[in-house]
A and B are shown apart, each in its own frame.
Chain A
């Protein structure tokens, strides 16, 4: 009997059982996710005119999106906002994750995580709306500051600005950043840190040389998990930006539904996906390098 050539009845049936088991969710995902995405790719390669979609394939839509001044500005704004949000969220989240992982007693850790995750599960719309209420012209901050006499006129820099959009999104995705960092910190073998200090490193140096590099995979996961949804956010530009500072998602809606140009809209959506994919790949490669650096 040749090894490999006859893997045996059991393995065959295991593969068959596995495929059978996974087929309901897989078929669902193929029909309602893969197929629509493929359709969108096809749409993006056509031209949408009043008569209908053309049959020939063309890159015109992509050219229009990539060279158009509005679209370029929009992409850059979306990238800036989500990059800033990611930076702020991850920087603010790291010490909290570090605190919960290293300074909280094991039996209290899940209580802290629960507290951190609760706001994340409450209505996203309501939370965004609350920031509008807080930061608005006649909002909580302005009225509060005026009522105690610190300012005489409402501050205008806090409403309808990129800054308030970043603030809102950073708040909305806070829990997203803490959890992966926490998980990677939890995985660190505590004896490494003792070894570092045993070898005469200061606490700070131990943190820089041992803890931080070992938690890098969690940081990178946090970056991705915050970056991806924020770049595609629709509600915040609409509510906090007052519609004056649209991002990619708002642009897709405007082109697809208001101008009813499915081809161009699809091209914008695909471009957004491409940006997300590129950023993801860069960070996943970074993560690989970190992991390889560690195993050496």
Chain B
């Protein structure tokens, strides 16, 4: 075969004239720099184009039919809410902190642990979930395990709870506190810490995690009885309260037995050996009897001695922790209507009445005869404006600061602002009859101190969330940015993902 190279001049021979090539190949234009054999590609198919116009078809504009859009089914009823209210307590991607201590009888009073993070014991998590101690947006889901920072107020509370359940002079004391503070200063977490300590000490914990739900007319209500037509009972809410209490305090309640007869309950159901757990479960199963059951349970828990005939198996009752998170909703008219279609005041709901009456000194004995702590928190983000409550809180603060109620500096309600008298009477600071009962105090939570803030930020760093050198200067800067160590703001600063340019 003849090579296409001309060996004489080392150039390619001129190609054959194009006309010789088959027409199908010449139809394709190929760039000269292509190395691939484009000429070998199959020839493009001829497209069928109609000759001339579309004479045989209609020319009018045709409306296109809309295709039915495939819509996914909306999530089932309650699914969205469940997702919104879901509480995640663990993040497997976060680092585990070696040597992290847990809440226990020793650590809750250990002043050396101030500023460190105490983990919540895993078995206690179910109890805390049962009393709804966790709220959805508290950032539990970014750490390996839930833990809370030990601050000054926490240590005070730990010592208090330790003293009440101990054998010292504080035994059986009743402490009533109203926890206030700015937004995200840790009021709810303070309640959580109290609960965790109470569970550690085997107290009975009764909580109202969402007071708002009782006044928004979202649960059923009915007049309490024919004698009290103006007081209303909420059976479902009462049953829910019982179920929370039973689920969280199962261990304690199953060890206690009934100590007397109860008027509102069936005699056949409540016998001498019935445990308090069984008693409470009756109310859960039958919401109509829930309120009476709760009252029976409350009487039992506050019993100091058995009635005659019930002496067998009587055990002294443990102290109680009662927490309410967001009392401002209970200080105004509810969304419920009475028969005259007038709004019912929240204080006319027997549930609310019961918990608010605890703030007043008991008539003959202490409001919690076996001792305990009442922690009623306000909310800064979800709270209606109640002028009377503001006045009450100011009065409490003034009294605590040593201002005498008769002095002109003592805050008084403005007579032209129509402060709600029932609210003003809520908190009674008169001298209690029982010697161990305290008068309501106000506890204002502020920011963390710098040392506490440093411990808190180190927790973020050790969990692998924060890649910074935690120095005093850095912490001081964040402390200022967080408005003086407001813990929720510190958390926001700590969890903020930072991408450095370098």
Real binding pair: no
The residues of A with any CB-CB pair to B shorter than 8 Å are none
